[in-house]
Amino acid sequence: ATDSNISKQLNNLELLAKEKTIANLPLYGIPFAIKDNIDALGWETTAACPDFAFDPKKNATVVQKLLDAGAILIGKTNLDQFATGLVGTRSPYGAVPNTFDPTYVSGGSSSGSASVVARGLVCFSLGTDTAGSGRIPAAFNNIVGTKPTPGLVSTEGVFPACKSIDCVSIMTLTAADAHIVLDVMKSTEVDRIKEAQFHPIPKLVSSFRRPTRIGIPISCQFLDDGQYQKAFAKAIENAKGLDVELVQVDIDPFVKAGKLLYDGPWVSERFAVTENFLNTHPDSFDPSVKQIIQSGASYTAAQGFRAIYQLKELEIETKETWAKCDVILVPSAPNHPTLEDLKNHPILKNSELGMYTNYVNLMRLCAVAVPAGFTEKGMPFGVTLIAQEGSDTALLKLAAQWQILFGLSLGKSEIKAAHSELTISGNNKDIVEIAVVG
Amino acid sequence: ATDSNISKQLNNLELLAKEKTIANLPLYGIPFAIKDNIDALGWETTAACPDFAFDPKKNATVVQKLLDAGAILIGKTNLDQFATGLVGTRSPYGAVPNTFDPTYVSGGSSSGSASVVARGLVCFSLGTDTAGSGRIPAAFNNIVGTKPTPGLVSTEGVFPACKSIDCVSIMTLTAADAHIVLDVMKSTEVDRIKEAQFHPIPKLVSSFRRPTRIGIPISCQFLDDGQYQKAFAKAIENAKGLDVELVQVDIDPFVKAGKLLYDGPWVSERFAVTENFLNTHPDSFDPSVKQIIQSGASYTAAQGFRAIYQLKELEIETKETWAKCDVILVPSAPNHPTLEDLKNHPILKNSELGMYTNYVNLMRLCAVAVPAGFTEKGMPFGVTLIAQEGSDTALLKLAAQWQILFGLSLGKSEIKAAHSELTISGNNKDIVEIAVVG
């Protein structure tokens, strides 16, 4: 942010402080950053494509809500161009280095948003997460990545990737912080009246049953030298210290749905929103991004509808899984590629990364990526807790308990949080729904 | 139905009567018919395409529910092939004549289902209604056509037209009868677990505010010699006798959405489910149906997604309309073509008919087509009451009041119903939802 922009925000904050009580300014003075595919007034939106850049006419709905709650926007962050990538290397502004070892990828597409939180430059940041773009970089940088249920948070003022399933995600050091930010960001009925809606408002579940039933995949595929498998086994072992019951579940129907996203017609959504620009500016794209987006031109509408039908059939199969557990625990990624790996296999090494993340939005689930220790090489290892639509708060509470139990240092720092800083307080936001039938 | 089939059903009914109380058999002994794109065990499903016919392995969910409630299936009914039409002429089994004048179309695609109810052969019938296929033939035969909110009634075991928005519809002489049948047909959570779901279960609204605000289109297009315009004006005048407040509303965004359905990529859904059969049996189709279904091959997935985006933008515009009224009142059709008209213009005269019906499922609305008098030529004229998702019961109660006020003869008969037969009783099924926040 420029000095004048910050001054303006501080002036505005003073005005807010006169109008509102401090309880209505839960983010008073808190600095944050947003991914550069999210509109903020006074800042160009580039989507990591300089020739595409435009001056937005207003703040994205979520940005406005954060500013209204007293937060200070101090920067916009680098990303995989048009949010098309899970690596953080597909940007003309440069690859974002991993905060732990610059020879590894940061993860993406919300690469910069993960980096600035892991490095402690801001208290929180916004990313977007269509296929894993919030969860993967969170995992690779030892932070918490919260991917809300589709429909819970507005995407108005976000340049679309797959418009029908895009989500704004939150990067924080702790689940407790994410809980506060998410509470501010939630869409209201008033917001929704003025915005295109692809999903209903989910019914919110504030807590899981105790003990919470955690589904562990019967088998997990890893694509590295064995480090991730070990790290995941250790994480599961540790998780037994929570008030949970571990049950084995089959995640096959989820993984199949995930393949529909990247090997199927949803990529046509990326093409649908960039086609005109692609025709007029064919040389303005990152080569990998261009290749992927262009592949979206080849699908027919019939293929698109058939993929939707397949997805709905797979959802039936997943209901058996959800009958057995409240939460599914998966590794956030199957491996952690280096920048060198990406140079050699720019498409393959990227697409591998979505194995445990791709299906989540298609199935209207919510997810929280949470740090789960380190590999023998000293790189962060993360897992993702996934639950059915509307379980966002319950999931963040579980993630908070996870962080208390694991007691890891936060982000790139050596700092460990106090128990109180990791705790999500009580039931004051619970909603009790009573159906009187008679 | 064959004698043996009926005997079997009667035997089954005796068993049911031993197992259940009569209160749990609300349709005990009631004869009904179903459109021949809905599966019933022991009956071929033809979809009005003999070469496509197959023996279903089980009853459609809705048929099972009706049988379980004591109803007796006595026949399957003719339709526009693959439910692709609004006229009732596109069938190798012959055009269904209008019950009032055989030179006029019956309306379709649920042509036979409307005819058998209007003629008093059954107490109720099932149709399907994707773009108006239940409402148009109801209007043309002086009966009630109920098109539930998408998601309220299962479509499992129904051969799809546009799978993502298909609805099973109900044909009855009275809204009161439809209310009883719909109550039996509603999907439960248990049904839903085993079936593909394109829509959430709508929250049910049991009554509208009094006086109910009825939205009348600022302008309505009619495509005939003026008879329909007069009939609609008279219906509006009569409607003032209800406990309603008439308000003018702009239905333009609805009509625009309707155009997306027939001039847009949703036709690719029809192609997606018949493509294989079309490739192997190109000569087994009605020529008009084939032409329409084949047009679904030409859309790209990007066009499909863009149409969905447009639809969502139009939905924002409709919210202004819904802020002003509880129900929208439209003519069910803009005209009533003759069989001769259809011969001369088989595609055009069909597509004109969807003007007031096409948009309803795309926007997840519910609708009840209700008789509203007769034209000067003595043909039935119908209107459709449309409301937001989940207002099905409220809408049927309004339709019942409408029928009491109008006092028309039922179907093709000279019989007028008694007040008590037209009344939907009280509030015993109301659901009160209380949200306790604090």
pLDDT digits (tens, 9 = 90+) for B22-34: 889 999 999 999 9
Q: Work out the average pLDDT over B254-282.
A: 95
Active site residue B109: yes
Average pLDDT of the residues in A84-89: 98
d(CA A109, CA A128): 8
Tokens 């937005």: give the residue. A56
Please classify residue A245 by burial: count the beta carbons closer than 10 Å to its beta carbon, then call 0-12 exposed, 13-18 middle and 19+ buried.
Answer: middle
Does the distance separating the beta carbons of A309 and B304 come in below 8 Å?
no
Find the CB nearest B305 among A164, A434, A435: A164
- Note the pLDDT of residue B428: 39
Q: How far apart are CA A182 and CA A184, in angstroms?
A: 5
Q: Which residue has the higher pLDDT, B433 or B303?
A: B303
Write down the pLDDT at residue A426.
63
DSSP B151: T
**What is d(CA A94, CA B302) in angstroms, rounded to the nearest whole number?**
30
Residue B425: what pLDDT? Answer: 79
**Is the bond into A92 cis (omega within 30 degrees of 0)?**
no
Per-residue pLDDT, B42: 94
Burial B412-431 (b: 16+ CB within 10 A, else e): beeeebeeeebbbeeeeeee
- For residue B190, the chain A residue with the least C-alpha distance is A319
Mean pLDDT for B48-52 is 98
Strand partners, B374: B380
Catalytic residues of A: 35, 109, 133
pLDDT at A206: 94
Helix, strand, or coil (residue A69): coil
Structure confidence at residue A291 (pLDDT): 97
**Res. A437: pLDDT tops 60:** no
Residue tagged active-site, from B106, B133, B268, B351: B133
Q: What is the pLDDT of residues A36-83, one digit of tens each?
A: 999 999 999 999 999 999 999 999 999 999 999 999 999 999 999 999
| Residues in Cβ contact with B99 at an 8 Å cutoff, skipping those fewer than 6 apart | B106, B114, B115, B118, B119, B141, B142, B411, B412
Distance (Å) of CA B186 to CA B75, B135, B141, B170, B189: 22, 19, 26, 12, 10
- C-alpha span between B54 and B80 (Å, rounded): 17
Q: DSSP for B106-118?
A: --SSSHHHHHHHH
Q: What is the pLDDT of residue B426?
A: 62
Q: Best residue in B154, B163, B300 to probe A by mutation, most A CBs within 10 Å?
A: B300
Residues in B closer than 8 angstroms to A437, CB to CB, are 429, 431
Q: How far is residue A361's CA from residue A354's CA, in Å, rounded to a whole number?
A: 12
Q: How far is it, in rounded angstroms, from Cα A402 to Cα B415?
A: 71
Q: Count of CB contacts below 8 A, A vs B? A: 112
**pTM of the predicted model as reported, rounded to 2 decimal places:** 0.94
In this structure, the strands spanning A431-437 and B431-437 are: antiparallel
Tokens encoding A147: 């991917």
Above 70 in pLDDT, residue B287? yes
Contacts by residues B11-16 (CB-CB < 8 Å, ≥ 24 positions apart): B12/B67, B13/B70, B13/B72, B16/B68, B16/B70
Q: Is the pLDDT of residue B432 over 60?
A: no
Alpha carbon separation from A321 to A205, A215, A399, B193, B330 (Å, rounded): 18, 8, 21, 12, 45
Contacts (Cβ under 8 Å, ≥6 apart) of B257 = B311, B314, B315, B318, B358, B359, B362, B363
pLDDT tens digits, A315-353: 999 999 999 999 999 999 999 999 999 999 999 999 999
Residues of A engaging B, defined by a Cβ cutoff of 8 Å: 163-164, 193-198, 200, 265, 268-269, 271-272, 275, 296-297, 299-306, 308-309, 312-313, 315-316, 319, 428-429, 431-438
Q: Residue A251: helix, strand or coil by DSSP?
A: coil
In chain B, the N- to C-terminal Cα span, in Å, equals 59
User: Nearest to residue B138, comparing CAs of B167, B106, B168?
Assistant: B106
pLDDT surpassing 50 at residue B427: no
pLDDT for the residue B388: 98
Q: What is the pLDDT of residue A432?
A: 40
CA B93 centroid distance within chain: 22
Tokens of B144: 């009630």
Instruction: With CB atoms and an 8 Å threshold, state whether A316 touches B200.
Output: no
Q: Which chain A positions have a beta carbon within 8 Å of B272's beta carbon? A: 302-303, 305-306, 309
Contact check, Cβ <8 Å, B434/A434: yes
A381 — pLDDT class (breaks 50, 70, 90)? very high
Q: Which of B91, B106, B109, B351 is catalytic?
A: B109
Is the Cβ pair A196, B428 closer than 8 Å? no
State the alpha helices, DSSP H only, in A281-300.
Answer: 287-295
Q: What are residue B54's phi and psi, to 5 degrees?
A: -145, 160
Q: Would you list the DSSP string of B216-271?
A: EES-----SSSHHHHHHHHHHHHHTTSSEEEEEE--HHHHHHHHHHHSSTTHHHHH
Min Cα–Cα distance to chain A from B301, Å: 4
pLDDT at B169 over 50: yes
Contacts of B301 in chain A (CB under 8 A): 265, 268, 296, 299-301, 303-304
Q: A435 and B431: CB-CB below 8 Å? A: yes
From chain B, the residues in CB contact with A302 under 8 A are 268-269, 271-272, 275, 296-297, 299
B238: Cβ contacts below 8 Å, ≥ 6 apart: B372, B373, B405, B406
Averaged pLDDT of chain B: 95
Q: Which of A272, A316, A433 sits opposite B194 (nearest CB)?
A: A316
CB distance B222 to B334 below 8 Å: yes
**Whether B316 and A272 lie within 8 Å, measured CB to CB:** no
Q: Give the CA radius of gyration of chain A.
A: 20
What's the pLDDT tens digit per position in B231-242?
Answer: 999 999 999 999
**Chain-chain contact of B268 with A297 (C-beta, under 8 angstroms):** no
Report how far residue A387's alpha carbon sits from residue A350's, in angstroms, rounded to the nearest whole number. 25
ipTM field: 0.94
Contacts of B311 (CB under 8 A, 6+ apart): B257, B260, B362, B363
CA–CA separation, A142 and B16 (whole Å): 62
pLDDT confidence of B421, banded at 50, 70, 90?
very high
Average pLDDT over residues A155-165: 98
Other C-beta atoms lying within 10 Å of the C-beta of residue A165: 22
HSE-CB for B287 with a 13 A CA cutoff = 5
How close B312 gets to chain A, by Cα (Å)? 5
| Number of other CB atoms surrounding residue B241 within 10 Å | 12
| Mean pLDDT, rounded, for A390-411 | 98
Per-residue pLDDT at A196 exceeds 90: yes
